[in-house]
Amino acid sequence: MKILVTGGAGFIGSAVIRHIINNTQDEVVNIDRLTYAGNLESLKEIEGSQRYKFEQVDICNRTELDRVFEQYKPDAVMHLAAESHVDRSIDGPADFIETNIIGTYTMLEAARQYWNQLDEMMKSAFRFHHISTDEVYGDLEGTDDLFTETTSYEPSSPYSASKASSDHLVRAWLRTYGLPTIVTNCSNNYGPYHFPEKLIPLMILNALDGKRLPVYGDGMQIRDWLYVEDHASALYTVVTKGEVGETYNIGGHNEKANIEVVKTICSLLEELVPNKPDNVEKYQDLITYVTDRPGHDVRYAIDASKIERELGWKPAETFESGIRKTVEWYLNNKTWWSRVLDGSYSFERLGTTVSKEEK
């Protein structure tokens, strides 16, 4: 197949592309606007492949999307491009409305026009796979409840509301126009190449630098943690085997309170980096409880039994194995994350002229 991946320079998108190039014979066309979260250095290991192409394209630019579809003629779309940080959506929701809603609409329309021009065999084989989040479901009150594919939507943040909107658009384009769409909703991802503003890499890098480890509220917010390479394999399984019109929840079967995650990272660092910064006796001493974010959901938990039952996928990593791999990756890849922290990665993006003042 030839797969068009949107947002392929992001955290999950780059994992998907690395998985496809390293484990299949498929071709990938990566389109990414290269916002702050887009980092082509996350694709260094596969960028020389003859089966990989990159186009710096904004998913809100219909003219460019039409060109990409006509030039590359993909067999499937994996739509991952999105603004995804809850705190940023609270501070500035406009970008989330533009990218996650308007961008998805524009992608759907470009894909629909392209799909309508295909012959019947290619039309029936084409897939538009929309990758979403469990945050669209809102909050779980009970300790035993799980999100299923039929859980009603109750988004709490501008981010999750914008993703819920995009999910509804995708399903409407299937029902109204017949565009063959599939939706997946995943739990919290973690792993290599994760942007350092997110919880797990932030805690690792702050601890290494002797900085405080800020934990919202009492730290008892529960999330289901999914290793990003497991997620990438699940997404490829869905785009190749999933049924049109279906939704698949993807989770790691690893419910952990945020404070437990932070303490696990501290324990691993005690083992792996015993030589601490001068101001640190124990890494856990850096934990600092801060004012909770507005509208913070308390618990997310995914029922991922459908994808295992129907498509045969289940995660390979436990949280214990995945978090160790993640900490070790950050310890061994200082060049990657230091260039993100100092901003140098963003000044050298292909075709961009971002100055330090603009950043």
Q: Which residues are catalytic?
A: 134-135, 159
Q: Which stretches of 52-110 are assigned E, i.e. beta strand?
A: 52-55, 76-79
Among 287, 241, 236, smallest CA distance to 266 is for 287
Query: Which residues have C-beta within 8 Å of that of residue 173, sequence separation ≥ 6?
Result: 108, 112, 128, 179, 181
Q: Please, what is the angle between helix 319-332 and helix 258-272, to 10°?
A: 50
Residues, the chain, total? 359
Find, among 166, 155, 106, the residue nearest to 132 by Cα. Answer: 166
Residue among 127, 262, 270, 154 nearest 199 (CA):
262
Task: Burial-class residue 267 by CB neighbours within 10 Å (0-12, 13-18, 19+).
Answer: middle
Encoded tokens for 91: 């501070």
Q: 84: number of CA atoms within 13 Å, CB side? A: 24
CA dist., res. 46 & res. 147, Å (int): 35
Q: Which of the 8 DSSP states describes residue 157? A: S
Strand ranges of the sheet holding 247-250, from the earlier edge strand across to the other edge: 52-55, 27-31, 2-6, 76-79, 127-133, 181-186, 247-250
- Could you write out the DSSP letters of every residue in 112-138? HHHHHTS-HHHHHH-EEEEEEEGGGG-
What secondary structure letter does DSSP report for 272?
H
